Structure 1
Amino acid sequence: MANYQNYEQVGRNYDQVGPRSQSQGFSDVEANRLTSLPSQHIGTIKPCSRAKWSREMKVSLIQLLKDHDVPGYRTHNAWSKEAWTSITSQLNTKFGMSFNVNQVKQKEQDLKKAYRNVKDLIAESGFGWDKDRMMVDAPASVWAAFAARKNSKDALQWRDKSFPYYDELALLYEGRYAEGRTRRRMDYYTSRAK
């Protein structure tokens, strides 16, 4: 429960969609429900093509991924089809949404990519992790030198942005994927064997 409250307090910087959603008075959850309300023209639920995720939904997804991080549902680095079906079903039931498996998988991939970017940034000389604010911490001079050396939008976006899911995602991904310059995916070794 303490982790969830931490997400709520610190996650506001990470999840701001922009002035549009707040100025209109809709939360992410309310906006999602509006896009999946029954259509007056055909009387069916219109699935949202682009899924919008609130902080609560992301926290629930991470918890479901952790719940399914067991043999039978997860191999060394991937969840099974049954796991994805279960996770999607539970998210839809909890939030009254109509996500499909691909939308849920995409959000997991987005979270994994953000986790890797933050982890790689923290590993750079001069950078650290501020556990209280849940964000990458470095002096302005270090950020400037990094920006001059590597013009990476993926990394530079974390300068003033919190990432409250970092610690929880570390539990899911640490040691699960290859690291280093010579990392190879499984398809590399399969094609090499042929």
Structure 2
Amino acid sequence: MTSSDLKKEMSVEVTMMTARGTPRLSLLKKAVERDRASPPTSSVTKRRRGSPKEDRAQWNASLEKDLVDLLREHDTPEHKGQNGWSSEAWNTIVKKFHQKNPYARYENKKIQEKEKELKREYKMIKEIRKQSSVSWDDRQCRILADPPLWKDIIISHPKAGKFKTKGFPLFEALGELHDGQTA
């Protein structure tokens, strides 16, 4: 084996070792690669493309929890009016969200949409929990019901199907935010 072959082999090993990392590191690397690969475009151009995969925010339980924590932190009269958080409050929430999660670069609109989605899910689960023969597992934060009852639940709440096997750990925190404010 020549010295150049040895250098190449060592370079491959070093590259393989540095290519591994945390999910956050992987997302950062992908974002940098994506930014380098594509020329800068205006937001108008991005909207015209219309690719749902490009615009779709990839949320996970940790990001959702961070968002709800920030919403609870800003659940004060100076940050909220009758119709929700003020625009200044949203700007602060989004700024703090990005500081805490620098790899998640969502626009204000995407974060506001996520808040609305979480609120809808909270209201739906709250309604389902009111039904007779439905129970709630506090440890797993999920709805417990027999299969025939789940059929009825899904008929009345089509988006509830995902909660048949999935928990909703943000239920209590969202209850603190929205109880008394939901119709």
Q: TM-score, normalised by structure 1?
A: 0.67
Alpha-carbon contact 1:77-1:176 (below 8 Å) kept: no
Structure 2 residue 112 is matched with structure 1 residue 112: no
- Highest CA radius of gyration, 1 or 2? 2
Q: Higher helix proportion, which one?
A: 2
* CA distances 1:79-121 after superposition (whole Å, capped 9, x unpaired): 1101110010111111113221101101101111111111111
Q: TM-score, normalised by structure 2?
A: 0.71
- Aligned twin of 1:136: 143
Partner letter of residue 63 of structure 1? D
- Unmatched 5+ stretches in structure 1: 1-24, 179-194
- State the alpha-carbon separation in 2 of the partners of residues 117 and 62 from structure 1: 17
Which one of the candidate residues 151, 176, 181 is aligned to 1:176? 181
- Aligned twin of 2:85: 79
- CA change 1:145–1:111 in 2 (3 A) is closer
- Aligned twin of 1:123: 130
- State the alpha-carbon separation in 2 of the partners of residues 50 and 34 from structure 1: 19
Partner letter of residue 40 of structure 1? R
1:145 is displaced (CA, Å) by 4.7
* CA distances 1:11-67 after superposition (whole Å, capped 9, x unpaired): xxxxxxxxxxxxxx984x456535532621467699962221222211111110001
Q: CA RMSD in A?
A: 2.8
Q: Decide which moves more: 104-113 or 155-164.
A: 155-164
**3-state DSSP of counterpart to 2:85:** coil
**3-state DSSP of counterpart to 2:32:** coil
Partner letter of residue 173 of structure 2? E
Structure 2 residue 30 is matched with structure 1 residue 40: no
Alpha-carbon contact 2:128-2:153 (below 8 Å) kept: no
- Aligned twin of 1:60: 66
Greater relative contact order (CA < 8 Å, ≥ 6 in sequence): 1
Alignment size in residue pairs? 151
- CA change 1:71–1:156 in 2 (3 A) is same
- State the alpha-carbon separation in 2 of the partners of residues 32 and 130 from structure 1: 34
% identical equivalent positions = 25
Structure 2 residue 166 is matched with structure 1 residue 161: yes
**3-state DSSP of counterpart to 1:37:** helix
